[in-house]
């Protein structure tokens, strides 16, 4: 194979996970420049998925770089927008973003002779057809640019973002067949192809452990695919600061880079830049440039089979628990601040997260495990909030999502798959789980959280917690000030959940102020 391509190492994103900094769309072009000049990022992602980002923002960003820095977009700093999904949002918004890419490329080409944007992220990718159709849309826009502006734009490549467990487990087939389809339908031979995988949404629907293992499964399978074809594959890994969303922090850097060996690019989201200690983000960027693009361990067929069954067990345990208080989670999430200008859940221009189709996962599992997984999934959408607010809501009531279903699932792995498999889970497949749980336990208070739970659910989660303490030798207790803040805010949240989310203005301000202080303590909104 040819010399390994040097992909961008750190992609600064517009994720709204910072608790201490609201960032308007008007400020985001300056944020892009700061990402490169202050933090050392070599890629920036203008985000149109579920956001009210103005279509001209791509042009604003490249103009900022050209006018205020010595960096040339497309050469010194890569601009890689995330477009809306034509399936989950609408076709019109996707095309408008693609037109804005043509505008930005026209500007940079006129001034520097270089095309600023060569790739565009396609979110919530479930099928090859979505990728190919979006690529054709981008090609149509390129042809329009040539016709209207006499501008020969190299058509930006679509980067699929795979965000659900079924897609992660099938990443090798999705990407392998996509590369083949490019050759057959678009007559393009790809020397390299980037793939984006998301930790947050796979955790939202399958839980922390299943999500982590699915990402590692995908990393291994994509490297296996790369070894068998003539296309180099670059892996972007999207993760946030809290463990449930990936645990990308300077404190956890050793664990993170060890767990996800084989990725080429990480996301630097808002919380690490604005909520953590000054200098932490810059140091993490430096670490990333040294640590990324290392070869991962390649899973054997036997290990893949074990992982799929473990994922099935954890996914089922997590979903059975979440469904019992999803309405409470939704209500509390609405009291957390909006730190970017986002679209509403659902509606003509927005979208809500749907429960994934797990049939492809359950068929891979042993029959009894697959049946339990299929039965555990919600029969209809729970209309859950985005992963950031979901995570923040659970931390706010004293039940960090990392613990949900985890203890009982470990016991079930031991009972159904054997002691050896359980040992490999904890020491080989997910060795930093203990560290993630110790972090979560600093914000866990099952007694205070019991106000939001039925007696049965409270007792179930208490058993989970006791098991995890014993198994991982965790002595960590809830931080005293955090517990005090929970005790202060919970009566207000309980009244609001009983009243359908209604709260008078004075009480609302007090509640949000307390939730804000709790977020500052955990150094992330969610």
pLDDT tens digits, residue range 155-182?
Answer: 999 999 999 999 999 999 999 999 999 9
In the sheet where 232-238 sits, what is the strand order? 78-79, 43-45, 10-13, 265-268, 232-238, 192-198, 157-162, 119-122
Is the pLDDT assigned to residue 349 strictly greater than 50? no
The three-state secondary structure class of 157 is strand
The residues, any chain, with a CB within 8 Å of residue 190's CB and separated by 6 or more, are 179, 182, 183, 231
Neighbours of 452 (CB within 10 A): 21
Band (pLDDT 50/70/90 cuts) for residue 353 is low
Q: What is the pLDDT of residues 235-250, one digit of tens each?
A: 999 999 999 999 999 9
Using the structure block, give the residue that is written with the tokens 């808002």. Answer: 270
In the prediction, which pLDDT does 2 show? 62
HSE, side-chain direction, 13 A CA sphere, residue 287: 19
Among candidates 201, 88, 169, which has minimal Cα distance to 358?
A: 169
Average pLDDT of the segment spanning 297-316: 97
Q: What is the pLDDT of residues 366-416, one digit of tens each?
A: 999 999 999 998 877 777 889 999 999 999 999 999 999 999 999 999 999
- d(CA 171, CA 219) in angstroms, rounded, equals 9
Is the pLDDT assigned to residue 341 strictly greater than 90? no
The three-state secondary structure class of 100 is helix
The residue among 70 and 4 whose pLDDT is bigger is 70
- d(CA 467, CA 474) in angstroms, rounded, equals 10
Q: Please give the structure tokens belonging to residue 317.
A: 């345990």
The residue among 378 and 343 whose pLDDT is bigger is 378
In the prediction, which pLDDT does 345 show? 52
Is the pLDDT assigned to residue 454 strictly greater than 70? yes
What residues are paired with 159 via a beta bridge?
A: 121
Q: How far is CA 79 from CA 107, 129, 204, 357, in A?
A: 13, 25, 28, 33
Of 84-98, 144-158, 238-252, 341-355, minimum mean pLDDT range: 341-355
Band (pLDDT 50/70/90 cuts) for residue 90 is confident
Among candidates 311, 126, 301, which has minimal Cα distance to 220?
A: 301
Is the pLDDT assigned to residue 354 strictly greater than 80? no
What residues are paired with 308 via a beta bridge?
A: none
Is the pLDDT assigned to residue 487 strictly greater than 60? yes
* Entry pTM: 0.96
Is the pLDDT assigned to residue 495 strictly greater than 90? no
- d(CA 216, CA 209) in angstroms, rounded, equals 11
Burial class (CB in 10 A: 0-12, 13-18, 19+), 350: middle
Average pLDDT of the segment spanning 200-218: 97
In the prediction, which pLDDT does 175 show? 97
Mean model confidence pLDDT for the chain: 93
- How many residues does the structure list for the chain? 526
Quick one: DSSP state of residue 89?
A: S
Is the pLDDT assigned to residue 193 strictly greater than 90? yes
Domain ranges of the chain: 43-159, 302-338+353-522
Is the pLDDT assigned to residue 361 strictly greater than 80? yes
Average pLDDT of the segment spanning 198-227: 97
Is the pLDDT assigned to residue 428 strictly greater than 80? yes
- d(CA 284, CA 253) in angstroms, rounded, equals 7
Q: What is the pLDDT of residues 10-59, one digit of tens each?
A: 999 999 999 999 999 999 999 999 999 999 999 999 999 989 999 999 99
In the prediction, which pLDDT does 1 show? 47
The stretches of 114-240 forming alpha helices (DSSP H) are: 128-149, 165-169, 171-185, 200-206, 208-226
In the prediction, which pLDDT does 348 show? 46
In the prediction, which pLDDT does 347 show? 47
The residue among 307 and 501 whose pLDDT is bigger is 307
HSE, side-chain direction, 13 A CA sphere, residue 210: 35
Whole-angstrom Cα Rg for the chain:
23
Task: Report percent pLDDT > 90 for the chain.
Answer: 83
Band (pLDDT 50/70/90 cuts) for residue 503 is confident
């Amino acid at each position: 194979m040819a010399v390994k391509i040097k992909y961008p190492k750190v992609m600064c994103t517009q994720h709204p996970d910072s608790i201490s900094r609201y960032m308007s769309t008007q400020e985001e072009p300056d944020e892009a420049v700061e990402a490169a000049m202050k933090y050392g990022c070599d890629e920036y992602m203008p985000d149109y998925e579920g956001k009210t980002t103005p279509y001209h923002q791509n042009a604003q960003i490249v103009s900022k770089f050209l006018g205020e820095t010595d960096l040339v977009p497309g050469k010194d700093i890569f601009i890689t927008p995330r477009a809306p999904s034509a399936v989950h949002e609408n076709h019109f918004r996707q095309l408008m973003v693609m037109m804005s890419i043509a505008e930005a490329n026209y500007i940079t080409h006129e001034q520097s002779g270089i095309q600023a944007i060569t790739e565009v992220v396609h979110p919530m990718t479930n099928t090859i057809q979505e990728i190919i159709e979006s690529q054709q849309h981008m090609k149509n826009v390129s042809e329009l640019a040539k016709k209207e502006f006499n501008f020969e734009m190299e058509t930006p490549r679509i980067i699929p973002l795979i965000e659900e467990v079924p897609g992660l487990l099938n990443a090798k087939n999705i990407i392998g067949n996509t590369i083949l389809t490019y050759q057959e339908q678009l007559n393009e031979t790809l020397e390299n192809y980037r793939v984006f995988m998301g930790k947050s949404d796979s955790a939202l629907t399958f839980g922390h452990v299943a999500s982590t293992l699915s990402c590692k499964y995908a990393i291994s399978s994509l490297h296996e695919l790369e070894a068998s074809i003539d296309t180099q594959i670059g892996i972007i890994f999207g993760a946030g600061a809290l463990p449930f969303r990936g645990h990308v922090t300077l404190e956890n850097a050793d664990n993170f880079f060890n767990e996800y060996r084989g990725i080429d690019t990480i996301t630097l989201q808002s919380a690490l830049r604005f909520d953590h200690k000054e200098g932490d983000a810059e140091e993490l960027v430096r670490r990333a440039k040294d640590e990324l693009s290392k070869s991962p361990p390649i899973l054997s067929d036997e290990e893949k089979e074990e992982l799929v069954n473990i994922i099935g067990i954890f996914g089922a345990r997590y979903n059975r628990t979440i469904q019992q208080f999803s309405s409470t989670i939704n209500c509390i999430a609405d009291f957390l601040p909006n730190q970017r200008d986002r679209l509403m859940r659902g509606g003509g221009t927005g979208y809500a997260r749907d429960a994934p189709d797990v049939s492809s996962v359950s068929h891979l599992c042993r029959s009894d495990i697959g049946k339990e997984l299929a039965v555990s999934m919600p029969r209809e959408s729970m209309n859950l909030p985005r992963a950031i607010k979901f995570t923040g809501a659970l931390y706010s009531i004293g039940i960090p999502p990392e613990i949900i279903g985890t203890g009982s699932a470990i016991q079930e792995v031991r009972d159904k798959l054997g002691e050896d498999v359980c040992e490999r889970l904890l020491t080989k497949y997910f060795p930093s789980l203990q560290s993630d749980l110790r972090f979560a336990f600093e914000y866990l208070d099952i007694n205070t959280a019991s106000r939001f739970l039925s007696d049965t659910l409270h007792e179930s989660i208490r058993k989970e917690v006791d098991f995890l303490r014993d198994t991982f030798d965790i002595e960590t207790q809830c931080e005293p000030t955090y517990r005090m803040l929970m005790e202060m805010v919970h009566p207000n949240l309980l009244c609001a959940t009983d009243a359908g989310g209604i709260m008078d203005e004075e009480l609302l301000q007090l509640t949000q102020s307390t939730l804000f202080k709790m977020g500052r303590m955990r150094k992330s909104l969610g």
